[in-house]
Amino acid sequence: MKLSTKGRYGVKAMFDLAQHLGEGPIALRSIAERQGISEHYLEQLVSGLRKAGLVKSVRGAQGGYTLGREPGKIRVGDIIRVLEGPLAPVDCVSEEDPEFCAKAESCVTRCIWEKVRDSIADVLDSITLESMLEDAKKLETDRSLYMYYI
């Protein structure tokens, strides 16, 4: 039940883009350096995000990537689904075209995996890049207040 680096790196990279919103296209190299990710590997991940419309690219010198739409309209769930495939702890309850199983109607364990899938989806779809930016801001002021009292 682990996320691969694809999902983790992808969320990091998208959040990095959100943090640099309005600064024009951001080069992958700078994202990779800030987040400590292999640039070439990140390239592959971002390629998928671009095809899904989550980022837009600008080629050539001074090029780079920007968010495909407003941060409030990009959910962490959207990112994870692109990079890790449809949410599903097991294939028979996949969000899209679940694997057929003859016993599905009478399967008790299936109900469990459905609940797990839905609870994960609820969490990931309730968090947007915008809400993450707000959280980061809050974390920042909390920390500076804390420093102040010490």
97 is a contact residue toward DNA (CB under 7 A)? no
Residue 64 tokens read as 């780079």
Q: What is the 3-state secondary structure (H, E, C) of 91-102?
A: HHHCCCCCCCCC
Place of tokens 């102040």: 148
- Do 63 and 25 form a contact (C-beta atoms < 8 A)? yes
CB nearer to a copy of itself: give 21 or 84.
84
For tokens 């707000």, what's the residue? Answer: 134
| Out of 22, 40, 59, 108, the residue judged to bind a copy of itself by CB under 8 A | 108
Check residue 109 for interaction with DNA (CB under 7 A): no
| Measured distance CA(68)–CA(54) in Å, rounded | 5
How many residues bind to a copy of itself according to rule CB under 8 A? 37
- Based on the shown chain and the rule CB under 7 A, indicate whether residue 23 belongs to the binding site for DNA: no
Stretch touching DNA by CB under 7 A, among 32-40, 72-80, 105-113, 114-122:
32-40
Residue of 119, 140, 16, 108 lying closest to 67 (CA atoms): 16
Residue 124 is a binding residue for a copy of itself (CB under 8 A): yes
Q: Which residues bind a copy of itself (CB under 8 A)?
A: 1-3, 7-8, 11-12, 15, 76, 80, 84, 87-91, 105-106, 108-109, 111-113, 115-116, 119-120, 122-124, 127, 132, 135-136, 139-140, 143
